[in-house]
């Protein structure tokens, strides 16, 4: 009897560990660039730092591929260069601005945290996401 109870307790503890494990990158919301589970001004700051270092300084991205995908909210720009040879990043100052719009709205109305950033932008800034 004690062995069964001990086994059940061990299984419960292991299950709790699995349930509290961090989410994979695919489970993060668009805009959550630092992958901490929340969309905040820190995500906008990361977008700006990456964009500035990549575009202005000509450095490599500081963000991982998953972070770049999470930060590319409008989906308009991919890694490329234009006809003038200018490097274009998937995460731009435009994304940083969109993250700040969303974050500020969530601070004012915590119910918006359940709304995807793209849906929020489509409703309140319809020209942003097309």
State pLDDT tens for residues 75-90: 776 555 666 665 566 7
pLDDT above 80 (res 56): no
More confident residue, 45 or 84: 45
> What is the CATH architecture of 25-124?
Orthogonal Bundle (1.10)
Using the predicted structure, report yes or no on whether residue 3 has a pLDDT greater than 70.
no
35 CB-near residues (< 8 Å, 6+ apart): 25, 28, 66, 67, 70
3-state class percentages of the chain: helix first, strand second, coil last, to nearest 5:
55, 5, 40
Mean pLDDT of 66-76: 88
Handedness of CA 29, 34, 37, 41 (dihedral sign): negative
pTM: 0.72
By percentage, how much of the chain surpasses pLDDT 70?
A: 68
pLDDT score of 81: 60
Residue extents of the structural domains in the chain: 25-124
């Amino acid at each position: 009897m004690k062995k069964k109870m001990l086994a059940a307790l061990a299984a419960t503890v292991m299950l709790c560990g699995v349930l509290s494990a961090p989410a994979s990158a695919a489970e993060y919301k668009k805009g959550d660039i630092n992958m901490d589970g929340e969309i905040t001004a820190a995500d906008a700051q990361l977008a700006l730092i990456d964009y500035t270092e990549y575009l202005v300084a000509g450095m490599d991205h500081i963000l991982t591929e998953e972070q770049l995908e999470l930060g590319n909210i409008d989906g308009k720009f991919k890694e490329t260069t234009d006809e003038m040879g200018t490097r274009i990043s998937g995460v731009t100052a435009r994304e940083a601005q969109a993250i700040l719009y969303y974050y500020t709205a969530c601070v004012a109305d915590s119910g918006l945290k359940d709304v995807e950033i793209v849906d929020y932008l489509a409703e309140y800034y319809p020209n942003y996401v097309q």
